[in-house]
Structure 1
Amino acid sequence: MTDSAISTKNIWPNYSSTNTQSTTSSSSNLGKDEFLKILITQLKNQDPTQPLQDKEFIAQMAQFTSVEQLTNMNTEMKLMRQSLGIASGLIGKNVTWTAVDSTGASTVKSGIVDSIILKAGQQYVKVGSEDIALDSISQISNPEAAK
């Protein structure tokens, strides 16, 4: 038996690189646009003798709506988390965070929040000369009263 008799060309001609389209995208997650493209492609290429049943079509449209609503909800949650109004409640509070220095050593620090700043779309609390990302804060408390 020769090597030419056993080839992927003879076994899987439909998987040839010329028969497939590129499936790479900039994101590894499927979003609502990709879901809609899949649904439209499915409708274009369905078997005319066995069209998509109404129940299946309604179920897929419900899935599309769910994907869209989850995407919208995710966006709203990000906006809510980044709201300056909510973060401004931290001003005057004592916060604790873990700082990592250039050698990789971590130390727990705490201090009173002086202000809230926004850099590159992310909020930071200003404690003295340090800017701490909100997601780095591990504890928030009222400052101790002077005795």
Structure 2
Amino acid sequence: MTSIDSSLYLNNQQKVRTPSQELGKEEFLKLLMVQLQNQDPTSPMDDSQFMSQMATFSSLEQMMNMSNSIEMLVNNSLVSPVLQYSHMIGEEVSYMTFDEETGKETGVETSKVVGVTQNQGWAVFELENGERIYADAVVQVGKSNIDDGEQGDADPDNEEESE
């Protein structure tokens, strides 16, 4: 003989309603419908009150749509490295170069970023000199003095005094 699980009896089901802190559009519509159904027929709701409630509902729906759109935009921009690095177009970047055979560092090259693409989820800079490098290979952004051998201003400790 098969027995019935006692947790499935109606009297064993949860009877306590757990209140929600949020009032969504479904709850708002339910409240509005209950209000319309239970209004006094001898003194129905004023038109201005009804319009006010409908405007509130419309405003709530638009805010929810805007919130969803912003959330989708933020999530997509975090996923897309092209959007994340698009501000680099036109910037001058310096990057390390390596000998393909030995793998040894051969120096630093500088070029302007002319485009940004994506390869397996990683941002790839397309450079003015025809090279393509990953964004994390950049060692400097902006005018570079690395490959020019310039030292900048003279050492302040080595100043010569003139009279």
TM-score (norm 1): 0.46
Larger radius of gyration: 2
TM-score (norm 2): 0.42
